[in-house]
Structure 1
Amino acid sequence: MKILFLSVGTLKKGYVKEGFGDYLTRIKRYVKVESQEVREGLGTTKAPKIDVMRKEGARLLEKVKEGDRVVALVVDAKAPDTKEFARVIEDTLACAVKRLVFITGGSYGLHESVIKRADRKLSLSNLTLPHELARLVIAEQVYRAFTIINGEPYSH
């Protein structure tokens, strides 16, 4: 299986880039992993929010392949605990899915077209997180899930 972290916008903050890169390296011990970014839809300040989201959504969906298992990170979904999340990863591994895609939206979130395409909606927290930080958190949680699945001591 391969994991794809698919996101709107580039990581700008150094500490987030460093942490995200570190977790990608750690995840590579278990599965193939990659990160792809699509351009933000912020063309002008006059663009309506829904138009920005629609453009970003179209760019994201261009990267999704038929047969991908897609997880959309959204605020209004259930936030699983760590063991539940590890079970989601483990169940996906058992289904012989070729690619598991975690999609993080931009500052306005994800367009409904992306959410409709998703096989699962997931919230990382009841708190609102900046989208850059959400990318770091999901990478850490994926790594943590693999340590749980493999009985390793990272998650106490």
Structure 2
Amino acid sequence: MKITFVAVGSVKKSSIAEASADYLKRIKRYAPVDIVEVKDEGASLKMPREDVLRKEGQRILSALGQGGYTVVLADTGSSMTSAAFSKFIEGLMNQGRKNVSFVVGGAYGLHKDVYGTADLVLSLSAMTLPHDLARLFLYEQVYRAFTIMRGEPYSH
């Protein structure tokens, strides 16, 4: 099963980028991975919030394409333990899913049309996380999910 991470913008802090690259490398031992970073509009006083969300949303929807399972991250989504998340990923694999995409929004979150394509809205935390940290946390949890599935010692 191929895993695609779709995110608005790029990771800015080098320390987070380095840690992210490490977890992505680890995930690639278990599954093919793609990273798609769509252009962010940024929080601008010149453009209304809804316009920013709409433009970024259009880019995300174009990147997602058709036919995959889509998980959208939001603080209002369903939460899971690491063990439950591992079972969730394993379930997708057992269903024969070819692609799963995880979507991380930008400064204002995600447009309603992106939520409309979601098969699951997932919360990493009830708190709002910075974009870069949300991505790192997601990568770590995906890696952890694979180690749990295989009974490897990373997850105690």
Aligned to 2:46: 46
SS across alignment from 1:77: strand
Q: Residues 97-128 of structure 1: CA distance to partner in whole angstroms, max 9, x if unpaired?
A: 11110000001111110011010000001122
Contact map agreement 2:43 2:107 (CA 8 A) in 1:
no
1:67 paired residue number: 67
How far off is 1:49 after superposition?
A: 0.6
Per the alignment, residue 27 of structure 2 pairs with 27
Shift of 1:96: 1.1
Structure 2, unaligned stretches of length 5 or more? none
Task: Report the alpha carbon displacement of residue 45 of structure 1 after superposing the two structures with TM.
Answer: 1.8
Displacement of 1:78 after TM fit?
Answer: 1.7
Does residue 128 of the first structure (1) align with residue 131 of the second (2)?
A: no
Q: Give the equivalent residue in structure 1 for 2:110.
A: 110
Q: Which amino acid aligns with 1:113?
A: D
Aligned position for 1:89 = 89
Q: TM-score, normalised by structure 2?
A: 0.97
- Is contact 1:68-1:99 (8 Å) kept? yes
- Residue 5 of structure 1 deviates from its aligned partner by 0.6
Root mean square deviation, CA, Å: 1.0
Q: Where do 5+ consecutive residues of structure 1 fail to align?
A: none
- Distance in 1 of aligned mates of 2:146 and 2:116: 27
C-alpha separation between the residues in 2 aligned to 1:28 and 1:129? 25
Cα deviation for residue 26 of structure 1 reads 0.2
CA shift for structure 1 position 44: 4.3
Mapped to 2, the partners of 1:118 and 1:57 lie a distance apart of 12
Q: Is the 8 A contact 1:24 1:34 kept in 2?
A: no
Work out whether residues 38 and 60 of structure 1, in 8 Å CA contact, stay in contact via their aligned partners in 2.
yes
Structure 2 match to 1:144: 144
4+ residue runs over 3 A deviation: none
